[in-house]
Amino acid sequence: MALDALAKKFFPGVVMLLIAFAAYFQASGLMQLVASSYLDAAAPAAGATPRPAQNRALASVGNHLGAMTAAQLYDAAKRAVPGIPAAIARGDFTPLMAWLGEHVHGQGSRWSSVELLTRATGKPLDPAIFKAHLERRYLA
């Protein structure tokens, strides 16, 4: 089956899956958890009411940190299970979900988000991985 035919066949399902993941992460507060781990110094003092501009700025940073974290986790998963991209192209997310279940979902409440990322990927948050992801996606 040609690549564009596969894309047409699985596109709605992939979009729905991505929306479901985004809704889950938003509802679970994962982005804010990641942001808070990296931005403790930027948080307002206890008892202080944050200004709306601060909320937008922190949310924006949290979204970017979430994207960086996702790129690093996906990179680690691909290195551990090289067949993940081919499986996703077929619409099979089982290998990725198995890796995430073992290295992230099954460990989530045991460690801080920083420690969890380091344990799952072998290194702390690395902007070079996100930069490489963006270059592959938008400049290739």
pLDDT, one tens digit per residue, over 100-124 is 999 999 886 788 888 999 999 999 9
Number of separate domains in the chain: 1
Answer whether residue 70 is part of any domain: yes
Q: Give me the domain span that covers residue 92.
A: 3-39+52-138
Q: C-alpha dihedral over 7, 10, 15, 17, to 10 degrees?
A: -140
Determine if the pTM surpasses 0.85: no
Q: How far apart are CA 101 and CA 84, in angstroms?
A: 14
Which ranges of the chain would DSSP assign to H, the alpha helix? Answer: 3-28, 30-38, 52-80, 84-89, 94-100, 113-121, 127-138
Do 84 and 77 contact (CB within 8 A), yes or no?
A: yes
Render pLDDT for 30-78 as a digit per residue (tens, 0 to 9). 555 555 555 554 555 556 555 555 555 555 566 778 888 989 999 999 9
Q: How far apart are CA 10 and CA 126, in angstroms?
A: 31
According to the model, what pLDDT value does residue 7 have?
A: 67
Answer whether residue 31 is part of any domain: yes
Answer whether residue 21 is part of any domain: yes
